[in-house]
Structure 1
Amino acid sequence: TNPDGTWSLPNVIGGRYRVRAWRTPDLSLTEPAIFFLGGNESKSVNLPLSKYDGRSVSAAIAPRPAIIGQPANLVVRLEVQSVDQQGIVQGTPVVGATMQLSGSGDWRVRSENPTLTDSDGQASYAVTCNSSGTQPLGVTVDGQYYDLKLPDCSSGFVEPTTTDPSVRTTPTTRRTTSTTR
């Protein structure tokens, strides 16, 4: 690699190529550059690397999207990212970290908050979204705030998606039921 970050590979035969780049332990290209090189062609390929050297937070919610006024389960995972010898981004769970949910969105947390991450680096919350649309929510860990990328909250009603006027649809009705044993 040259001081400016460029690298050259002369006398490459033509064909289809899939090119990746990385630097252990902190830089990686997660989507390879795929291209065809003609037999007499010369080509420059830009391989922008991203930094993976610190904490990362990801979240999953069920149901997805959260339905207004209905309970939802939110799991937030905290890990430290690094790049291995093969250029793969790896995450190591952070165990026992204190996480606190907060944000400007209309959410109600129905479980312990703050809470500690488990052996998988995960903290679980019972939440309820109270308004439709985008409802910002995040988590604070050791004074650092991380925005959770959650889908917009939904009313639970799904509009028919057909554009064919000959197809007839009926409205969707949601009912809450319970079973007693």
Structure 2
Amino acid sequence: MVVLAAAALAAGCNDSGSRPGLRGAPATVSTTVPVGSTTTVAASPRTVVTISSELGPGEARIGGTVTGPEGPVPGATVRVERLVGDDAAPTAAATTTVESGADGRWGVDSVNGGRYRLRAWRPPDLAQVTAVVAFVTIGESPPVDLVMTRHSAEGRATTAVSPDPPVVGQSAIIVVSVASGGVDAEGVVRTQARQGLSVTLGVSPNVGVTTPTIVETDAAGNAGFAILCTQPGPIVALVTVSSVAQPAPLPACVVR
């Protein structure tokens, strides 16, 4: 049997003095549950934390700061998984989620030591694509900072050229791919090809466009342009999608 701290759900419950599982948690009462079972603890008005015997209670703490392109991010979801088993193929023995505070900080107290897999996201446009694995020891472990990137893909264009690099005097094809999407409630980054958008290609004087410079995207979200390098050197290209212009990085024209 193990003893866990569970949130007092009924009005009038007194604080038993048990150590809360999360900073800022409501008053707690002690409850005893069988080893291997799971109990749910209310950590804040918007967060529900599930603690099993694999996660705690223990004498370790894990926490850090969630950041994005503009700095600390409040209101991000942080998934905390305690890993067990082989290093090459670990499994999650227990999972909890917490929410970052106004300063981007997050933390879980009273957990067992061991390996933890951590990932953060905040819909509709911020996510940490690759999870971080950290080892937590008894006491205060070093902070684990989670860095999210923006995945708002409304009309975002990516470019590719074939052959790569383009050769002076030989025809080449530039493909502009346009997609929209974002981050869902589970932190999954999803994109969708955009059909029927107007794409305009502008290039530097050492490159000629031998097809129309304005093309609509097809069902796969692609717009193709044929070009011909007339001189070696860098290609300065600009792609405009639905009146929004963005640079199009391309390799330089070469001589062979």
Q: How does 1:26-45 map to 2 (within 5 A)?
A: 26-40=125-139, 42-45=141-144
Q: How much does 1:39 deviate?
A: 4.9
> Could you say what the CA RMSD is over the residues aligned between the two structures, in angstroms?
2.0
Identity %: 32
Partner of 2:54: none
List aligned pairs for 1:119-158, cutoff 5 A: 119-156=219-256
- Given residue 141 of structure 1, which amino acid in structure 2 is its aligned partner? V
Q: Does 1:48 align with 2:147?
A: yes
Contact 1:116 1:123 in 2 (8 A): yes
2:164 maps to which residue? Answer: 64
1:168 aligns with none
Q: Which 10-residue stretch deviates more, 128-137 or 38-47?
A: 38-47
Runs of 4+ in 1 over 3 A off after TM superposition: 11-18, 34-41
The alpha-carbon deviation at position 116 of structure 1 amounts to: 0.6
TM-score w.r.t. the length of structure 1 is: 0.76
Could you give the per-residue CA deviations for residues 65-119 of structure 1, whole angstroms, max 9, x where no partner exists?
Answer: 1112211111101111311233232222221111110033521111122011111
Q: For residues 203 and 230 of structure 2, what CA distance do their matches in structure 1 show?
A: 13
Q: Give the conservation status (yes or no) of the 8 Å contact 1:15–1:39.
A: no
Match of 1:10 among 109, 114, 119: 109
Q: Number of residue pairs matched?
A: 156
Q: 1:18 to 1:70 in 2, by over 3 A?
A: farther
State whether structure 2 residue 196 is matched by structure 1 residue 96: yes
TM-score by length of 2: 0.55
Report the Cα distance in structure 1 between the residues aligned to 2:181 and 2:231, rounded to whole angstroms. 34
Q: Alpha-carbon deviation of 1:37?
A: 3.4
| AA matched with 1:26 | D
Q: Return the alpha-carbon distance in structure 2 between the equivalents of residues 153 and 5 of structure 1.
A: 45
- C-alpha contact 1:102 1:137 (8 A) present in aligned 2: yes
Q: Displacement, 1:152?
A: 2.3
Q: Which has the higher strand share?
A: 2
1:24 to 108, 120, 123: 123
Change (3 A) 1:153 1:20: farther
Aligned AA (2:217)? T
8 Å CA contact 2:173, 2:227 repeated in 1: yes
Q: Which structure would you say has the larger Rg?
A: 2
Q: Distance in 2 between matches of 1:39 and 1:130?
A: 66
Higher RCO (Cα < 8 Å, 6 or more apart): 1
**CA separation in 1, counterparts of 2:115 and 2:206?**
51
